[in-house]
């Protein structure tokens, strides 16, 4: 009887050891897929992912000066920043921002390519294409000064008088011209699908699968997608599966909860699971915090930071 009990005990211990070894191996595989920069950040007090506040998001706490804002962001653990209107700022301001980001070892998220708004890519109109080409050339020159990697672009409105597939073909052709301009410098245009139900009715590009198809057709490293989680929750949902299916064409993310477009934890999107998923995939790009705050003043700014600490705790 004692021998039976000993055999059962030994068997149990072997199973337990085997389970521990399997668990340890699985953990090692998961850890190996995470970028070294992300692992280093998580052990240094910085956020695991590069959540990027907009310049001025913390003006109640840091004041109006952009350099003070960048320092405040870095002190709070953020590893990136973005400014949609960066291209419209004076050269000396842009230069000081770039220098401070370099000092703080922070990345710069996509800037909006000014001059594209209102121009539709769905047409083959020669004059319109020439304007697009000039705007992209201006963006390439600005990106060199700003040390920027990504320029955000929205392809404009759809045409109610033209078959949809012809419009798609025209968008692809226009983007090939843009890609030819951008490729020598390494600048990446990121296309942003926007929701038509709450914020942007009438636009051509609305969904991630649609943007993925266009990027595959353009077939250039200089034309990718910025996946705005807020917009895509409204338009199509299925967030994580769409991230996975379009993964090779996604270059950046925008953030905001729904409804309300405020910080994570204020709406229906499970950002903690999304961030964990991106982290486990080894994502080392920028996630622009393109949203408002659910509360006013410094209290609201601290609530935004706390929301990201909470969602980054995985």
Token reading at 34:
């995470």
What is the pLDDT confidence band of residue 116, given thresholds at 50, 70 and 90?
confident
In this prediction, residues 267-292 reach a mean pLDDT of 98
Residue found by looking up tokens 């199973």 in the block: 15
pLDDT number for residue 294? 98
**Do residues 252 and 287 touch, judged by C-beta distance below 8 A?**
yes
Distance CA 80, CA 82 (A): 7
Question: Per-residue pLDDT averaged across 225-243, rounded?
Answer: 98
Judged by phi (left if over 0) then psi (alpha if -120 to 50, else beta), residue 13 lies in alpha
Provide the pLDDT for residue 35.
56
Handedness of CA 116, 121, 124, 125 (dihedral sign): negative
What is the pLDDT at residue 252?
98
Query: Is the pLDDT at 31 greater than 90, yes or no?
Result: no
b/e sequence 31-43, b meaning 16+ C-beta within 10 Å: eeebeeebeebbe
**pLDDT at position 242 over 70:** yes
What Cα–Cα distance (Å) separates residue 308 from each residue in 38, 75, 84, 199, 257? 16, 14, 21, 24, 12
CA distances from 103 to 71, 111, 156, 186 (A): 9, 20, 37, 23
Cα(183)–Cα(57) distance, integer angstroms: 32
What does the pLDDT read at residue 23? 44
Enter the tokens of residue 65: 């000066």
User: Residue 227 belongs to what H/E stretch?
Assistant: strand 223-228
The residue extents of the domains of the chain are 1-32, 34-311
Q: Are 97 and 86 in contact (CB under 8 A)?
A: yes
In this predicted structure, what is the pLDDT of residue 18? Answer: 45
Name the architecture of domain 34-311: Alpha-Beta Barrel (3.20)
On the question of pLDDT at 32 being above 80, the answer is no
Distance CA 179, CA 129 (A): 13
**pLDDT at 25 exceeding the cut of 90:** no
């Amino acid at each position: 009887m004692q021998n039976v009990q000993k055999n059962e005990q030994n068997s149990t211990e072997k199973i337990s050891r085997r389970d521990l070894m399997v668990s340890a191996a699985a953990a090692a595989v998961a850890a190996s897929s995470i970028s070294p920069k992300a692992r280093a950040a998580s052990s240094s007090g910085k956020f695991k992912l590069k959540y990027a506040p907009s310049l001025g998001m913390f003006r109640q706490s840091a004041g109006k000066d952009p350099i003070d804002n960048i320092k405040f962001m870095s002190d709070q653990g953020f590893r990136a920043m973005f400014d949609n209107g960066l291209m419209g700022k004076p050269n000396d301001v842009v230069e000081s921002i770039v220098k401070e980001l370099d000092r703080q070892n922070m990345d710069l998220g996509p800037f909006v390519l000014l001059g594209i708004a209102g121009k539709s890519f769905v047409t083959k109109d020669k004059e319109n294409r020439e304007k697009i080409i000039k705007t992209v050339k201006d963006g390439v020159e600005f990106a060199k000064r700003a040390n920027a990697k990504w320029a955000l672009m929205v392809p404009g409105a759809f045409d109610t008088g033209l078959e949809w597939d012809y419009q798609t073909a025209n968008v692809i052709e226009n983007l090939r011209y843009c890609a030819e301009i951008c490729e020598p410098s390494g600048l990446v245009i990121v296309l942003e699908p926007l929701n038509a139900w709450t914020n942007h009715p009438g636009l051509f590009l609305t969904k991630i699968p649609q943007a993925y198809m266009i990027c595959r057709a353009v077939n250039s490293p200089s034309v990718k997608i910025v996946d705005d989680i807020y917009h895509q929750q409204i338009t199509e949902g299925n967030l994580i599966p769409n991230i996975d299916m379009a993964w090779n064409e996604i270059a950046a993310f925008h953030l905001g909860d729904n409804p309300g477009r405020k910080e994570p934890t204020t709406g229906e999107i499970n950002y903690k699971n999304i961030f964990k998923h991106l982290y486990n995939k080894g994502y080392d790009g920028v996630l622009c915090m393109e949203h408002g705050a659910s509360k006013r003043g410094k209290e609201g700014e601290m609530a935004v930071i706390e929301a990201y600490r909470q969602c980054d705790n995985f």
